[in-house]
Amino acid sequence: MLALGLVVGAPLVQAAATQAPPVHVAIAASRVAPDADTVRRVFLTELAAARRDSANEEFDVSIVNSRLEMTRGMVELTMTMHVVVSDHTGKLHSFGSGTAKVQVPAHRYHASQLPALREQAISETASTVLGSLGARRREPTS
């Protein structure tokens, strides 16, 4: 599998003037794979929406599957994401994965819609993964 890896070089700033956590993105080679900047932007948006305290975390996000196919009169984009959460020293905190499928009736689909479908699939997948990570996240006990 050929993967494209990009690392965030400059910190991103969110609206609340807090520094966004580092998000490293790898994307499996596919003719319908999103670009890393789109994955990073959408993932950070979903991370903010999840209200997750991510100040001391780094996220390795991998799009491991992105497939566009026509099934039963529908154009379906299926995307699978893996996320590994670690601290700045590289210590693993948690990991999760999720898959999302977005559909458009074939008679209404046009290739120009593909970027919006990819963005929707990334958003739904990230939301699912972050929801499962939040449910599994343990608060330190004293």
Counted domains in the chain: 1
Residue 142 counted as domain residue: no
Which residue ranges of the chain lie beneath pLDDT 50? 1-17, 137-142
Residue 125 counted as domain residue: yes
Which 3 state secondary structure label does DSSP give 4? strand
For residue 48 the two structure tokens come to 């903010």
Residue 12 counted as domain residue: no
Which CATH number does the domain housing residue 130 bear? 3.30.160.150
CA distances from 69 to 7, 32, 54, 100 (A): 30, 10, 35, 14
Q: What contacts 77, CB < 8 A, 6 or more positions away? A: 32, 66, 67, 68, 101, 102, 103, 114, 117, 118, 121
Residues 33-63 have pLDDT tens digits of: 888 999 999 988 998 888 777 778 899 999 9
